[in-house]
Amino acid sequence: METVRLDKCLTMNFGCSRREAGIFIRKGRVTVNGIPVRDAALRVSPEDDVRCDDSGLQVVTRACPRYFMLNKPAGCVSATDDSEYPTVMSCLRDEAGGLFPVGRLDLDTEGLIFITDDGAWAHRVTAPSRKCPKVYEAVLEHPADPVLKEIFARGVLLRGEKTPTLPAELEILAPEKVRLTIHEGRYHQVKRMFASQGNHVISLRRIAIGGIFLPEDLGSGEYRPLTPQEIALF
Return the closest-CA partner of residue 201 out of 189, 187, 191, 186: 191
* Cβ-based nearer residue to ligand URA, 25 or 91: 91
Catalytic residue among 7, 48, 81, 106: 106
In this structure, is the dihedral angle defined by the CA atoms of residues 84, 87, 90 and 95, taken in order, positive or negative? negative
Rg of the Cα atoms in the chain:
20
* Cβ-based nearer residue to ligand URA, 57 or 204: 204
Return the closest-CA partner of residue 214 out of 102, 137, 138: 137
Alpha helices in the chain (DSSP H): 6-14, 18-26, 119-126, 148-154, 189-195, 228-231
Q: Decide: is 13 part of the binding site for ligand URA (CB under 6 A).
A: no
Distances from the Cα of 206 to the Cα of 40, 83, 84, 120, angstroms: 32, 25, 23, 23
Please report the DSSP string for 118-160 in residue order: -HHHHHHHH-GGG---EEEEEEESSPPPTTHHHHHHH--PPTT
Among 61, 181, 189, 227, binds ligand URA (CB under 6 A): 189
Considering only the stretches 8-16, 83-91, 185-193, 215-223, report the one whose residues sit in contact with ligand URA under the rule CB under 6 A: 185-193
Give catalytic status of residue 117 as yes or no.
no
* Cβ-based nearer residue to ligand URA, 44 or 135: 135
Among 139, 181, 188, 227, binds ligand URA (CB under 6 A): 188
x-or-dash string of contact with ligand URA, 76-105, rule CB under 6 A: -----------------------------x
Cα separation, 164 vs 11, whole angstroms: 42
* Cβ-based nearer residue to ligand URA, 10 or 122: 122
Among 6, 89, 190, 214, binds ligand URA (CB under 6 A): 190
Return the closest-CA partner of residue 114 out of 234, 226, 227: 226
Q: Decide: is 196 part of the binding site for ligand URA (CB under 6 A).
A: no
Q: Decide: is 3 part of the binding site for ligand URA (CB under 6 A).
A: no
Cα separation, 36 vs 105, whole angstroms: 42
Distances from the Cα of 204 to the Cα of 74, 153, 157, 161, angstroms: 9, 20, 21, 22
* Cβ-based nearer residue to ligand URA, 80 or 189: 189
CB of 106 to ligand URA, least distance (A): 4
CB of 180 to ligand URA, least distance (A): 9
Q: Decide: is 106 part of the binding site for ligand URA (CB under 6 A).
A: yes
x-or-dash string of contact with ligand URA, 107-126, rule CB under 6 A: --x-----------------
Which stretches of the chain bind ligand URA, using CB under 6 A?
105-106, 109, 188-191, 204
**Residues carrying an active site annotation:** 106
